[in-house]
Every structure is written in structure tokens, then in C-alpha cells.
Amino acid sequence: MTRYLRGLFIVWVALRYGLDELVLNSFKRPWLSGIARVLSLGRDLRAPRGQRLRQALEHLGPIFVKFGQVLSTRRDLLPVDIADELAQLQDNVPPFDSAIAIATIERAFRRPVGTVFASFEREPVASASIAQVHFATLVDRDGRTRDVAVKVLRPGMLPVIEKDLSLMRMMAGWVERLSDDGKRLKPREVVAEFDKYLHDELDLVREAAAAAQLRRNMAGLNLVLIPEMLWDYCHPDVMVMERMYGVPISQIERLRQAGVDIPKLARDGVTIFFTQVFRDGFFHADMHPGNIQVSLAPATFGRYISLDFGIIGTLTEYDKEYLAQNFTAFFRRDYKRVAQLHIESGWVPPETRVDELEAAVRTVCEPYFDRPLKEISLGLLLMRLFQTSRRFHVEIQPQLVLLQKTLLNIEGLGRQLDPDLDLWNTAKPFLEKWMLEQVGPQRLIDELRDQAPRYAKMLPDLPRLLHDFLAHRPSDDRHQLKELLAEQQRTNRLLQTLIFVGMGFAVGVAVVLIRFRLF
């Protein structure tokens, strides 16, 4: 019953703000426009269409606000007035009462806010769907003052999110039962992924831990700044961090006037994204412009400043390697390899013909190469790939949905910064370097070094374990086991020989490369 009531509420909000009229007017058919005019009778729909859409999404809650945030980055798909209005959802959602924020802080730290901070600004500096941020001054243990940002969780979020997720689960079940593509699309698994990410976002300690991990990962890149978390002041409902000073990345003209190299900024954004995804498998998955600033301080001029780490994506080693091989094959236009990878991974049925899948992928991707962002759309490309996936029964991978969303954010951001950016050629050198590191001599040495302690611990126990095993086995099995052990010893000697030959070859190649200054 709760789900149906929530569904009725969504319909009521859509009608209240005239979203039905917006949809009907988007079609260039006179009779549909006539229906829209009839339906609008008795409703005050004088507000601009973008404003009505934004207010409707705000009214419906955090899941819908996040949908609007993603849409706001897609200026290639939306009219300018709607994109500008939805951009306010990035950090300008109506705030909740500051008295509630202060009460939350005092409840978390069990003391008055005046004893926690030397000063606290009641007016929030930013407000989003899940939390809002206040600036404050903190006195540390050494008596020094420090400027901080205080993130406070918006009250009452869990029940709203649970209602929306329950409705999404019900609709996912319908899609799975009624749609021909239901099982292939895995709608319930996709909703489960969103469920996990949204619940994680309601725990600010988890967010602080993710920010700390990203800060360590990005420390040597010198392209992005991530605020330090102050652990003595982190609680599931309140998070205190270093205050960052920067200019919102959406203020491009202001950045240009300050001397920031905008095309380099766009290229750096691509490098940061691919580094987080393929090197670390741990990436900022909410990279809309409201969460990104640019530093103008002399020591860090032109670097990104990342904020809001509530949604973090992770990839397994298998996912990273598979995606890197796919991207590399795409960039090299090796469509046959792309088809083979899809079959090897089990994403398409094993009986799929490689040549047919290769031709389909080539048809989709070839028109988009060697063109700047202003002339392509990853959104359109993904849509065409989705149509191809239906033909070949490609299974949707729920763990990659967040990556696809982030990739669309990155493309939207890159389009705003530098429409002439060549996304393919910017990313290709990074991926080729990363792939070389995965299969080169250094990877072999690193693997041997990492596994050495494990093998060193196991070796002394092997004689005792073998003796105990033989002592408790029947005589017939013992004879068979001795024969197996003898065969295993012969195999081990052969493997050791191959390993030493391989290592010698690798060392020899490395010496030659160093000799001729190829490294």
C-alpha cells in the first residue's frame, strides 16, 4: 500500500507542476499541444518550464534530485533554459532550518555547538539532496584556529529513500516479468546497486573514510586536492573536514580571467578519472560541477578540488582488466578484439558469431572517432550500443552502472570546459601505459614480491602436513598418492626451469632497454 501511495504522490507532483504539459508540448504535433492546453486549465503554469521541472524534482526527494543533477550536465541533450535551472540542484537545493543542523551537531558531539567550534556560520554555504554544509572555525588541541567545513545530514532522509527504493523494486519486478529484455537488463540487480550506494551516502563516517582513501590515492598525481578529514569530529550524522578555497568549475569565464589553462583543465579531468578507475579501481562517482572547484592559490594553481564523497564506485581486478582491454581495443579500432572480449567474458552467449558482433560494434563506433566532444555524444553512443546489445543478448552488468553514470558526468564536464577536446586521443596514452604495466616485467617482479611472504610461511609446514596426510590414508590410496607426488615433482622441476628461463629473459630484455635508453 505504501508503494502505491508513493506512486500516486509522484503522479500528483507531476500534475501539480505541469510536467504532463511539458511532455506533450515537446512533441511537434498540433493535436498533442491542444490536449496539453486542455489539461492545463485550472492550473497555474505561468512559471518557466525549467523552474517547474526543478521544483518537482526537489519536491519528490533525493533520488529524483540526483537524477536532475545527472541531467544538468547533459547540455547536449537539454534546452539551455532547462539545463541552467537543473544546475541549481547541484548545490542549491532549498536548505533545512539551521536550528535543526545545530541540534544535530550538538546531539552528535553531546555538547553545545559553541564549545565545539570557535565560530559557526548559521547560514549554509551549500545545500544538496542529502546534506548541507556550514563553514566554521575550529580550535585544535594546540590552541591553533583552523577553518573547517561542517557537513550535516538532512533529517528524515531514510524513510523517503526507502519509499522510493521500494517503488523502484516493484517496478523492476514488473520490467523483469513483462519485458522481453527483463532478464538481460537485470533491473532488480541494478536497483540493488542503487540501494547500496544511497544507504552508504547516509553514513558520513563512511563518506569520510572514502575521502581519506581517495586523498591517499591521489597524493602523488598533483592534479587534484581532496580535503583532510578531522576524525575527532566525524559522526554518522556530522562530518568536519578541512575547508577548501576554490572557484566552482562551472564559472569558466572567471577561471579563464584568472589565467587558468582551460583546455589543460579538461585533459587533467580525463586523466584523473582514468587513474581512479583503472589504476585504483576506486573512483569519485558523483562528479557533477557542484562537487568540483579549481584552486587559484599560487602553490596549487589550476588543480581540481574534489568535494562530496558520498557516492564512491569500486571495481574488481577482473573488471579493471576487462574494461581496460575493451577501451584499448576501442581506441585502436580493433573491433574484432572487442567482440572476442565480450564472448570470453560471458557477456554474450558463447554461440555468438565474432564477425557479426564485430561488424555491429564497428557500425556504432566508427563514426565517432577523430572528432571533438562538440561533435559527438557519449549519451547517444551508449544508446546505440544499448540497441546493439539487445540484438546480441548482451547481459547488463549492474556493477558498471555507476561507472557509466560517472563517464557521462565526465563527458558533460569536458564538453563545458573544452568542446574541442579529443576524448579518445587524451585517454589512449594513459590506457596503453597502464596495460603495459599490467603485463610487463615490473608486474611479474611485483607479484613475486607480494606472494613471497605467503609461500615462505607455507613451505616449512609442507613436510608435516604431507606426513600427517599419508599416515591417515589407506595403503592403496597411499601408493597412488606416491605416484602422483612423483609426477608432481617432475612437473615442478619443469615449471621451475620455465620460470627461471622466463625471469632471465625478462631481466635480459630490461638490460637491453636500459642500455639503449628505451626506458
d(CA 132, CA 238): 10
Q: For strands 131-139 and 145-153, give the pairing.
A: antiparallel
d(CA 390, CA 151): 43
CA atoms within 13 A on the CB side of 150: 31
Report the alpha-carbon distance of residue 378 to residue 427 in Å, rounded.
Answer: 14
Looking at residue 467, its amino acid is H
Q: Which residue has the cell 583543465?
A: 265
Residue 368 corresponds to which cell in the numbers above? 565517432
- CA angle in degrees (0–180, nearest 5) for 35-41-44: 120
| Phi/psi at 343 (5° precision) | -75, -45
Instruction: Please pick, among 164, 286, 308, 319, the residue that the annotation labels catalytic.
Output: 286
CA–CA dist 222, 279 (Å, integer): 15
Note if 286 is an active site residue: yes
Q: What's the rounded Cα separation, in Å, for the pair 237 and 26?
A: 42
Instruction: Name the nearest CA neighbour of 84 among 480, 468, 416.
Output: 416
**Residues 254 and 306 sit within 8 Å (Cβ to Cβ):** no
C-alpha 259, offset from chain centre: 30
| Closest C-alpha to 41, from 18, 24, 23, 25 | 18
CA-to-CA dists, residue 420 to 17, 74, 86, 276, 365, angstroms: 38, 16, 24, 24, 19
> How do strand 292-294 and strand 247-248 relate by DSSP bridges?
antiparallel
Cα–Cα distance for residue pair 505/2, rounded to 1 Å:
67
What are the phi and psi torsion angles at 137 (to 5°)? -120, 130
DSSP string of 157-197, one letter each residue:
HHHHHHHHHHHHHHHHHHHHHH-TTHHHH-HHHHHHHHHHH
State the number of CA atoms in the 13 A half-sphere of 157 facing the CB.
Answer: 22
Separation between Cα atoms, residue 488 and residue 480, nearest integer Å: 12
Report the greatest alpha carbon distance in the chain.
93
Determine contact, residues 271/430, Cβ cutoff 8 Å: yes
Alpha helices for 392-461 (secondary structure H): 401-417, 423-439, 441-458
Quick check: helix, strand or coil at residue 51? helix
Active site residues: 286
